[in-house]
Structure 1
Amino acid sequence: MSVFDPFHPEVGTKVEIPYFFYLVQHPDGNVLFDTGGHPSLVSDPRARLGDAADAFEVTMQEGDDVVSQLARAGFSPDDVDHIVLSHLHYDHAGGIEFFPHAEFYAQRRELEFAHWPPVYQREIYVRADFDHPVAWNELDGEFDLFGDGRVVIFPTPGHTAGHQSLLVHLDGERAMVLVADAAYLPRNIELNVLPGIVWSPDAMVASWERIRALKRRYNAQLVFTHDLAWPETTRVAPEAWYE
């Protein structure tokens, strides 16, 4: 719990952390936001992550990987046209190699940061995840993916130097912000509580201000990748989805 919130009343408690990724269906193409962990984490996480596997007690089950999860919802890697990476930590970028024909989107600063990370984040960037001959679109700020305001990438640095989140306008007037690791829990944003893995506290708080502004402007729902309360807050395909 100390990673999520060093000041939480249950700071000494071990928690099971979920890892989500999201598929957005748009008339002009399917968008995958993050790709989860590499399937090799099922059998031998230490071989992939080294000491980080022990520090985070990484566990992954057969079928948890992005290709298997997409298949459960009726999709294959060839059905994915665009992949937006919130950042390149191992639990978000592990499935890149399975989408060789997709267009990839990351902030230019994140690609730089991932290849030359500071020592305090070095173990959670795995070059084998993102060193692949895929088509990278290196972004410098906000990017409207289809030019219609429906799927908008926007920078939310703080957790890492080039972290980004995704604003999605669904049919009707519903809007959602896929927060990723701009914050782990609603509590971080609501109470300005910094988590344990931070590149820049000032940048993170500024990103929270932007997310709060989007939430107010569009009455948007915030969806968190590592939400500990996910059974009550998050719809999981193929049984449930957002529309």
Structure 2
Amino acid sequence: MKQIVLATASAFILAMAACSGPAGNEGANSETDAPETDTGATDAVVAPETASEEGVDALQLIKLDCGSIYVSDLDIFSTAGDYAGQSDTFTDTCWLIRHPEGDLLWDLGLPGILTTQDEQTTGVFTVSLEKTIAEQLAERDLSMSDIEYVSISHSHFDHSGQVDLIDGSTWLVNQLEYDHMFPEPDVSEEAPAEDAETEGGADAGSQFPGFEVLQHEIILDNHDVFGDGSVIIFMTPGHTPGHAALLVNLPETGPVMLTGDLYHRTESRELKRVPQFNTSEADTLASMEAFEDRAAELGAKVIIQHEPDDTDDLPEVMR
């Protein structure tokens, strides 16, 4: 079953790569990942207000609809074997975080090309998308070029699909996920290293050409995006080696924690179910424990990004 997921991801990544857009200049920070002790709590965040053309006066968290995923057999989403024969429909959410110092786009959803197609089925997944991120930003009088930062919880196809729309944003990524996406090639006498650079600067053999050409910054654990403790990217490895989650401190609701794919469903969180295709079950369980400790300490509202019960009917301050 793991092969089904990986093959599906590869198929959508290739579709994404076929419509990749303009590139930025690559610029990596040489720092490596190391744990930090910042809990992410802050007293400095002010309440959300209406956006202006120049930006915003206060922090905002805005949900974007990045597609729908029907899973015909959930078996691969639990190593315990108790999901076999069940089906479910996941929502696919991306999030725009507006801050007086700039904007962060969290996750990139399904490939935008799906807006021009009917539902597409590969293996157990049937996916669809109504509007691209760019179209949803335009409804808010924003463009992709207005976004200062972009970061993805992890590199699977349903969280990285619209990278081709990025226009000048800096990609924030930890070293573990970057290395997972762009591993060093195996070199031997039978398979010598070759110069596979394309005219755009991307490795012709990469599964992530759209990301490879982005300007990027390598970040540490507990990365404080805007320097005031209001928006924190923290590592929750296991689903992928560098999987991350997001903490946004909104005073009207208390802290909000976006899970990425640490969990896919409410039941997954309650029962601590680990997908069969995760890179490490042990790391996933450790990340779940650390995530829950942090949520309890902060009194945070937890949003499972694929769970309609969590992402529908949100408070107005979460748009």
Tell me if TM exceeds 0.5. Answer: yes
- Give the whole-Å Cα distance in 1 for the aligned partners of 2:129 and 2:252: 37
Closer/same/farther in 2, CA of residues 211 and 67 from structure 1, 3 Å limit: same
Amino acid at match of 1:58: T
Give the whole-Å Cα distance in 2 for the aligned partners of 1:236 and 1:180.
19
Query: Does the Cα contact within 8 Å between 1:45 and 1:58 map onto a contact in 2?
Result: no
Deviations 1:203-238 (A, max 9, x none): 1111111110111111101111211xx1x321479x
Say which structure, 1 or 2, has more relative contact order (CA 8 Å, 6+ apart).
2
Measure, in 2, the Cα distance between the counterparts of 1:74 and 1:240. 19
- Alignment partners' CA distance in 1, 2:168 and 2:318: 26
Residue type at the aligned position of 1:61: L
1:195 aligns with one of 275, 298, 318: 275
Cα deviation per residue 1:12-55 (whole Å; 9 max; x = unaligned)?
12322221100111111111101112212345699xx9xxx511
Counterpart of 1:82?
149
Q: Separation in 2 of the partners of 1:146 and 1:83? A: 13
* Pair 1:233-2:310 in alignment: yes
Does the C-alpha gap of structure 1 residues 142 and 35 become closer, same or farther in structure 2, counting only changes over 3 Å?
same
Q: Structure 1: which 5+ runs fail to align?
A: 118-124
- Does 2:118 align with 1:41? no
| Counterpart-to-counterpart distance in 2, 1:217 and 1:107 | 24
Q: If each structure's helix is expressed as a fraction of its own residues, which one has the higher value?
A: 1
Q: What residue in structure 1 maps to residue 296 of structure 2?
A: 216
Q: Which residue of 2 aligns with 1:59?
A: 127
- RMSD of Structure 2 on Structure 1 (CA): 2.8
After superposition, the Cα gap between the structure-2 partners of 1:70 and 1:196, relative to the gap in structure 1 and judged at 3 Å, is farther
Equivalent-residue separation in structure 2 for 1:226 and 1:163 (angstroms) = 15
Say which one has the larger Rg. 2
Out of 176-185 and 154-163, give the one that drifted further: 176-185
8 A contact 2:304–2:310 mirrored in 1:
no
Contact 1:153-1:166 at 8 Å conserved across structures: yes
SS in 1 for 2:259: strand
- % identical aligned pairs: 24
- Residue correspondences, number: 225
TM-score (norm 2): 0.63
Q: Report 1:15-164 matches (<5 A).
A: 15-43=88-116, 54-63=122-131, 65-116=132-183, 126-131=207-212, 133-164=213-244
Distance 1:134 1:110, change over 3 A: same
What runs of 5+ residues in structure 2 fail to find an aligned partner? 1-73, 185-205
